[in-house]
Amino acid sequence: MQFELSDTPTIKRRLTAMIYEGVLLFGILAIADLLFALIFQQRHALYLRHAAQYWLFIVIGAYFIWFWMHSGQTLPMKTWRMRLVTLDDRQLSFKHALARYFLAWLWFVPGLAIAWVLDAKEWSAIAIVLANILAWVLTARLHPSRQFLHDRIAGTKIIQLNKAK
């Protein structure tokens, strides 16, 4: 099956692919966490908690960076016919993929930091993080090509692939 390039996928389409990505990542992280627990004989969730978090951060990074560099697509991106490329429509280098991975955390980290500084609890902390996510989505609405802010900073873009006729 051949594909031809098209415009930027809709924000709704990209957000739907992100939900699918989250479902896949849940399984990947469950296996990675189990491996960590078995290797380090973790019998309590708080034992080596920070090391486990770093490990999962690295696993997520390896997953995305590998797929972005090799095909420009994770499985959800293939399913939704999207590809990640540089601004000049080339395959991502390690530098571009790594930059995009770290910048993509801006979807959550500022909201989490604000919630922590304000000592927000329960629903107010969730509301702050959701406001951060909404603000990030709005950055795409304000841009002419509808690319998210982390893509613009990293020098990447998501393109829609249409089935060739």
d(CA 156, CA 31): 30
Place of tokens 């031809």: 4
| Residue 5 scores a pLDDT above 60 | no
* Better pLDDT: 86 or 46: 86
| 125's tokens | 């902390």
| 89's tokens | 């429509």
The pLDDT assigned to 162 comes to: 85
Torsions phi, psi of 87, nearest 5?
-60, -25
| Residue 102 scores a pLDDT above 90 | yes
The pLDDT assigned to 164 comes to: 61
pTM of the entire predicted model: 0.86
Place of tokens 């960590």: 36
